[in-house]
Amino acid sequence: MEAVLERSPSLKALRWACEVAIAHPDLLERAPERPDPDELRAIPIAQLREHLDRLLLGQYVQQGLDALLKVGILEAWLPEMYALVGFGDGEWQHKDVWKHSKQVVWQSPPRLPIRWAALLHDIGKVKTRRVEPDGEIHFFGHSELGAALFRKYIARRLGFGEALRERVRFLILHHLRASQYEPGWTDSAVRRFIRESGDALQDLLDLSRADITTKRPGRRLQGLSLISELASRIDEVLLEDARVPPLPSGIGNQIMQHFNLSPSRKIGNVKRRLEQEVDAGALEPGREPEYYLSWLEERRQELGVELSE
């Protein structure tokens, strides 16, 4: 049975598409015969994913994606992407989302999580398209819907492992976040972005850069400049936070003396509360002990259990 599958037209088509993306984009003009849809859907998931992963990391990934479209693999295995072909072209008064998605993949760094997220980041647009009375087009909620479609259908269909699944879902869900940056963001807002991005921070920045596909040089430069500014702000905040501890040394002893408390778990709870407030931007980091003691004194009733013996 395996030998038969190895010789099947569907696997030959899959290998051809992968070859197009990796080394020979000129092969796109010599496509093999389009296999039967049932044959395409019979491709073993392990082999499908192996070739799709390699294709997405290929140097000629845009041609490779067009190859998937030509032989029917896109329609058979990724109907959510197939629905984007031609969507937004001409009559929709919006850029062709398929062409845009291919360019975003190509512009993104060749790392598997970000390439999958780049491919799928706009799959929620088809069902969220809204036209305002003035003709303006919106896709409110397309990130949330796209992340849900990926997790519920695509990740299961294509056998994504948990780690890759969650990273791709996160990137689809938050792919607009970095592009919402404005120079007026406070350091606290930057810290919140860092904290909520977690270890996907660099992927989010890279995906946001790749998502800029406008042909208007001015708009492209403006978008890239804002993301670069955000990246610089992130570096500055991280450097500052590494240099200045959020709370002064010995604050635990100061709290015990000021509120006449004995060493206990309560002191740790109070310190964590102060650190949370610093992280949220409600308190400044690295101030003198009196600054934090005054804040605690003002909330003595609220923190009654922790500030009493």
Over residues 62-74, the mean pLDDT reads 98
| Token pair listed for 139 | 């896709």
Alpha-carbon span 96 to 93, nearest angstrom? 9
For range 212-239, the mean pLDDT? 94
Q: What is the pLDDT of residue 171?
A: 98
Q: Across the chain, what does the average pLDDT equal?
A: 91
Band of residue 211 on the pLDDT scale cut at 50, 70, 90: very high
Whole-number Å distance between alpha carbons of 228 and 32? 44
Cα 72 to Cα 43: distance, rounded to the nearest angstrom: 12
Does 91 score more than 70 pLDDT? no
17-32: per-residue pLDDT in tens? Answer: 999 999 999 999 999 9
Q: Which amino acid is at 22?
A: I
Across the range 268-288, mean pLDDT stands at 88
Amino acid in the structure at residue 302: E
Domains within the chain, CATH numbers bracketed: 1-77 (no CATH), 97-243 (1.10.3210), 251-298 (no CATH)
Average pLDDT over residues 103-131: 96
Task: Identify the residue whose tokens are 């009493």.
Answer: 308
Question: What is the structure's pLDDT at 309?
Answer: 64
pLDDT in tens, 157-194: 999 999 999 999 999 999 999 999 999 999 999 999 99
What pLDDT, on the 0 to 100 scale, is given for residue 89? Answer: 47
DSSP state of 250: T
How does DSSP assign 151-168, residue by residue?
IIIIHHHTT--HHHHHHH
| Nearest Cα to Cα of residue 31 among 72, 58, 71 | 71
Q: What CA–CA distance (Å, rounded) separates 247 from 237?
A: 16
Q: What is the SS3 assignment for 244? A: coil
Q: For residues 45 and 158, is the Cβ–Cβ distance under 8 A?
A: yes
Whose tokens are 């197939």? That residue is: 82
Using DSSP's 3-state secondary structure scheme, residue 137 falls into strand
Neighbouring residues of 226: CB distance < 8 A, sequence distance ≥ 6: 179, 181, 182, 183
Judge whether residue 111 has pLDDT over 80.
yes
pLDDT-derived band at 139, boundaries 50, 70, 90: confident
The token pair at 69 is 């479209």
Confidence band for 94, pLDDT divided at 50, 70 and 90: low
